[in-house]
């Protein structure tokens, strides 16, 4: 099996799996006062310190949550509510057009149900949110904006934003900024403090940890209204009994992934460049989406996103799957119907080309054999998918 | 895989027979989430989920193919246009012809598949030596037989079809689904038209065609009532005619004919419904056109022996015994007139009938 869908979820690191399974056998609520509780609390706090250290945050800035979606929702809604409460004029929410649905849909929900005005910051043809565009937007409405959210790295085309520059622009207008960094942590260097952002989402299963545990890094001085009310855990921002084994495993994975960033960057960049070059050689009219490979710092090392004119993405996906190669197209609706990606459309691709796109995402255990498998399969698969596209158009 | 029990078991049997099976669910509505809530059909989110669940249990790949635009153009819009023209279409038959065994089959073939298998109840044998002459027969379970809605398929379409349920009674299929752990084992059968989830065909048509009022005329020429459009009626219909006063002889009236140009609905006594001959167009033949055969003129019932004459204009069918409720727009399917009477010889679309 050739697994090239690491951006969807990546295999657990053996040490993270070991930490998790070992911890599952223990009892203890980290909020309890007895011995078992104290032990659990110690394990959680040590994990928090580990995570904080790995990503340049203070331990008290780590708000544990169930993953990227929760962290994104907490950041968007929590910052919006708290900023609006402090200053009722601040009812605008700014998100980039290439955000994950966890951010986009949270913003749309605020617009529909909480009286927010949603400003969508356009992205350029490479999927990048331009700090100058944000500056222009904030110049007009800066004193009405409650929160800005721009992702660190895009999940589809792998474009890495200039987060520090965006944060500077937001702060110059007195606006807090959140960044969804679930694709970035463990793939590129991420330093929360140095980036200047006020809130940052990360999740375990994208970096070699377990599914169902992640964190919102939230600056100590940033007020955030909770989504979940209850026992007051996590600075009262995120109530709920802490997942002790999950948190321990997350910490193990974050530490290992961050320590491995340089090796991953070198290895995956080389594998990815090889994959793209050889796929383009097999399918000359295919095109690479996102940032060109000669600007490696602006693109996730493991991301190869390609469009194949005349093909339906789900035909390509099916034919590759049948050959043991697992990759991804854009999103599907609840009934499973393939939809052109909003990210590609925002980048200016036409709908047909957007539908005929595939994302290959390499990860920590990808090898040259994985690339060879794709290169061997892609020519016949594209040819066959084109025939299927022609058949549909003709009949 | 519609999300129902039949297609799930069909997929299971094909997999067990050694085929390399991929499950495909057809998204036929432009707005799948709003198509149908809960009940049963082939378009809802719930059905898509049920189909996926079955594919997962069978451990076969599963994909949703978006055929909504094709379905609208090739099935729904012609359905509306046929009613507006005073005919009575069969959308399931059209879906088999245009969607399942044209759009899906052609895409599947292009992708490298050999055939499209479905949960239809009919028996099909395609000889490797003579694929141009497939033999389509009625299902073993007479209550479930769907050879009528498949009779419209051409030999090249049938050569790419597999119907693994044709020899089984429905009860056996349900028991097999339960044995295989398929969650849809007890799911109710679908009955109504999948793109009219409310079951209100008249409401659906009225919304699309609007009102085209006209007169209801008895055989003697007397105007006995008024109507809102010929699309509200089907030949042979008795109920819901909306005629206030009874016929002079007190006998029930039936719809005898629909004339969209003059917006006339002809009504009259039951014996006027008797049809002794019909003209049909666009024939499809699986075997040499017969001179004598058994015809079926609607999805359930409506069988008679008949003699057949093929002309340049179509097929002239003379019935040995009169049939009632023969509606233009429906298919006439020809069966071999032997004792079993179960081999499909061909089909055509009924254009006109006469007494």
Residue A211, min C-alpha distance to chain B (Å): 21
pLDDT band of residue A326 (cuts 50, 70, 90) is very high
Does B5-186 match B274-354 in CATH topology?
Answer: no
Q: Where are the alpha helices (DSSP H) in B146-293?
A: 147-150, 155-158, 170-179, 201-209
- Over residues A282-296, mean pLDDT: 97
pTM: 0.87
- From the list A312, A361, A360, the residue with the least C-alpha distance to A338 is A312
Which of A322, A385, A388 comes nearest B61 by C-beta?
A322
- Over residues A365-390, mean pLDDT: 95
The C-alpha torsion from B83 through B86 and B89 to B91, rounded to 10°, is -10
pLDDT band of residue A334 (cuts 50, 70, 90) is low
Q: What CATH number labels A261-394?
A: 3.90.1150.10
Residue A385 touches partner B, C-beta closer than 8 Å: yes
Selected catalytic residue, list B43, B54, B194, B293: B194
Contact map slice: A 285-344 vs B, CB within 8 A = 314-315, 317-319, 321-322, 332-338
Judge: A318–B45 Cβ closer than 8 Å, yes or no. Answer: no
- Are B14 and B162 within 8 A, CB to CB? yes
Interface ipTM: 0.83
User: Which of B63, B101, B157, B194 is the best residue to mutate to test the A interface, defined by the most A CB atoms within 10 Å of its own CB?
Assistant: B63
Give the residue extent of every domain in chain A. Answer: 14-259, 261-394
Judge whether B43 counts as a catalytic residue.
no
Judge: B102–A321 Cβ closer than 8 Å, yes or no. Answer: no
Q: How far apart are CA B304 and CA B177, in angstroms?
A: 36
Residue A35 touches partner B, C-beta closer than 8 Å: no
What is the chain A residue with the closest CA to B34?
A: A335
- Over residues B19-46, mean pLDDT: 67
> Would you say domain A14-259 falls under CATH 3.40.640.10?
yes
pLDDT of residue B37: 38
Judge: B111–A338 Cβ closer than 8 Å, yes or no. Answer: no
- From the list A202, A201, A188, the residue with the least C-alpha distance to A258 is A188
Tokens representing A205 are: 């299963």
The string of pLDDT tens digits covering residues A133-184 is 999 999 988 899 999 999 999 999 999 999 999 999 999 999 999 999 999 9
> Would you say domain B274-354 falls under CATH 2.160.10.10?
no
Judge: B102–A387 Cβ closer than 8 Å, yes or no. Answer: no
Percentage of residues in chain A with pLDDT exceeding 70?
97
User: Which of A321, A330, A337 is the best residue to mutate to test the B interface, defined by the most B CB atoms within 10 Å of its own CB?
Assistant: A337
- From the list A386, A229, A246, A232, the residue with the least C-alpha distance to A310 is A386
pLDDT of residue B40: 40
Residue A380, min C-alpha distance to chain B (Å): 10
Give the residue extent of every domain in chain B. Answer: 5-186, 211-272, 274-354
Cα A211 to chain center, whole Å? Answer: 14
- From the list B150, B43, B166, the residue with the least C-alpha distance to B97 is B150
Q: How far apart are CA A364 and CA A373, in angstroms?
A: 17
The string of pLDDT tens digits covering residues B209-223 is 888 899 999 888 889
- From the list B155, B150, B112, B154, the residue with the least C-alpha distance to B131 is B155
Residue B55, min C-alpha distance to chain A (Å): 14
Residue A89 touches partner B, C-beta closer than 8 Å: no
pLDDT band of residue B158 (cuts 50, 70, 90) is very high
The C-alpha torsion from A279 through A283 and A285 to A286, rounded to 10°, is -40
Does A14-259 match A261-394 in CATH topology?
Answer: no
Q: How far apart are CA B161 and CA B175, in angstroms?
A: 24
The string of pLDDT tens digits covering residues A343-366 is 999 999 999 999 999 999 999 999
Instruction: Give backbone dihedrals phi and psi of B57, rounded to 5 degrees, phi first.
Output: -65, -35
Tokens representing A8 are: 């969807």
- From the list B116, B117, B134, B133, the residue with the least C-alpha distance to B125 is B134
The string of pLDDT tens digits covering residues B302-341 is 899 999 999 999 999 999 999 988 999 999 999 999 988 9
Q: Domain spanning B211-272: which superfamily?
A: Adenine nucleotide alpha hydrolases-like domains (2.30.30.280)
Residue B51, min C-alpha distance to chain A (Å): 10
Q: How far apart are CA A42 and CA A324, in angstroms?
A: 44
Average model confidence (pLDDT) across chain A? 95
Contacts of B34 (CB under 8 A, 6+ apart): none
Contacts of B16 (CB under 8 A, 6+ apart): none
The string of pLDDT tens digits covering residues A215-256 is 999 999 999 999 999 999 999 999 999 999 999 999 999 999
Contact map slice: A 251-290 vs B, CB within 8 A = none
- Over residues A270-276, mean pLDDT: 98
- From the list A188, A193, A136, A135, the residue with the least C-alpha distance to A161 is A188
Architecture of domain B5-186: 3-Layer(aba) Sandwich (3.40)
């Amino acid at each position: 099996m050739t697994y090239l869908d690491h951006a969807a979820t990546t295999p657990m690191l053996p040490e993270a799996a070991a930490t998790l399974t070992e911890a599952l056998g223990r009892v203890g609520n980290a909020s309890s006062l007895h011995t078992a509780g104290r032990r659990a609390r110690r394990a959680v706090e040590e994990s928090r310190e580990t995570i904080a250290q790995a990503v340049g945050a203070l331990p008290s800035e780590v708000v544990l949550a169930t993953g990227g979606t929760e962290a994104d929702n907490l950041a968007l809604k929590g910052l919006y509510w708290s900023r609006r409460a402090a200053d009722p004029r601040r009812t605008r929410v700014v998100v980039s057009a290439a955000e994950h649905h966890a951010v986009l849909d949270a913003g749309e929900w605020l617009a529909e149900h909480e009286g927010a005005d949603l400003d969508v910051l356009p992205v350029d043809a490479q999927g990048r949110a331009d700090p100058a565009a944000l500056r222009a937007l904030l110049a007009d409405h800066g004193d009405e904006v409650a929160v800005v959210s721009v992702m660190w790295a895009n999940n589809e085309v792998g474009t890495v934003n200039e987060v520090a520059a965006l944060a500077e622009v937001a702060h110059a207008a007195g606006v807090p900024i959140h960044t969804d960094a679930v694709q970035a942590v463990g793939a590129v260097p991420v330093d929360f403090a140095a980036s200047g952002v006020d809130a940052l989402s990360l999740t375990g299963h994208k970096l070699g940890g377990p599914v169902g545990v992640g964190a919102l890094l939230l600056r100590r001085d940033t007020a955030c209204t909770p989504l979940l009310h209850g026992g007051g855990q996590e600075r009262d921002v995120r109530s709920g009994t802490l997942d002790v084994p999950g948190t321990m495993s997350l910490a193990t994975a974050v530490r290992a992934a961050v320590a491995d960033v340089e090796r991953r960057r070198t290895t995956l960049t080389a594998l990815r460049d090889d994959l793209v070059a050889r796929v383009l050689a097999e399918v000359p009219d295919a095109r690479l989406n996102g940032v060109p490979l000669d600007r490696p710092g602006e693109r996730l090392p493991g991301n190869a996103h390609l469009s194949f004119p005349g093909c339906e993405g789900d035909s390509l996906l099916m034919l590759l799957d049948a050959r043991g190669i697992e990759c991804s197209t854009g999103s599907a609706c609840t009934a499973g119907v393939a939809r052109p990606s909003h990210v590609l459309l925002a980048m200016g691709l036409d709908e047909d080309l957007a539908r005929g796109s595939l994302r290959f995402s390499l990860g920590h255990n990808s090898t040259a054999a994985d690339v060879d498998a794709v290169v061997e399969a892609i020519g016949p698969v594209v040819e066959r998918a084109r025939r299927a596209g022609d058949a549909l158009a003709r009949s | 895989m519609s999300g129902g029990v039949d297609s799930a078991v069909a997929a299971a049997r094909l997999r067990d027979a050694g085929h390399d099976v991929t499950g495909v669910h057809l998204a036929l509505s432009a707005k799948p989430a709003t198509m149908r809530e809960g009940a049963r059909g082939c378009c809802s989110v719930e059905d898509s989920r049920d189909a996926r669940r079955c594919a997962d249990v069978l451990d076969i790949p599963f994909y949703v193919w978006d055929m909504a635009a094709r379905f609208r153009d090739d099935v729904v819009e012609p359905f509306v246009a046929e009613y507006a023209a005073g005919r009575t279409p069969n959308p399931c038959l059209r879906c088999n012809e245009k969607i399942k065994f044209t759009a899906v089959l052609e895409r599947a073939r292009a992708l490298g598949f050999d055939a499209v298998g479905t949960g239809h109840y009919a028996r099909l044998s395609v000889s490797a030596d003579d694929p141009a002459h497939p033999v389509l027969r009625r299902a073993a379970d007479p209550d479930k037989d769907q050879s009528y809605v498949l009779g419209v398929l051409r030999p090249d379409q049938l050569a790419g079809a597999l119907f693994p349920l044709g020899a089984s009674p429905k009860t056996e299929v349900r028991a097999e689904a339960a044995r295989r752990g398929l969650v849809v084992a007890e799911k109710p059968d679908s009955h109504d038209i999948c793109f009219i989830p409310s079951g209100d065909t008249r409401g659906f048509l009225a919304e699309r065609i609007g009102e085209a009022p006209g007169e209801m005329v008895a055989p003697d020429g007397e105007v006995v009532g008024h109507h809102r459009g010929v699309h509200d009626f089907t030949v042979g219909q008795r109920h819901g005619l909306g005629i206030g006063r009874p016929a002079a002889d007190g006998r029930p009236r039936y719809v005898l004919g629909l004339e969209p140009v003059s917006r006339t609905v002809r009504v009259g006594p039951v014996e006027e419904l008797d049809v002794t001959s019909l003209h049909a167009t666009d024939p499809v033949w699986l075997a040499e056109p017969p001179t004598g055969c058994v015809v079926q003129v609607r999805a359930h019932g409506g069988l008679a022996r008949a003699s057949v004459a093929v002309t340049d204009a179509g097929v002239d069918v003379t019935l040995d015994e009169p049939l009632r409720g023969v509606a233009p727009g429906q298919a006439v399917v020809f069966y071999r007139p032997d004792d079993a009477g179960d081999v499909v010889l061909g089909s055509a679309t009924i254009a006109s009938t006469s007494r």
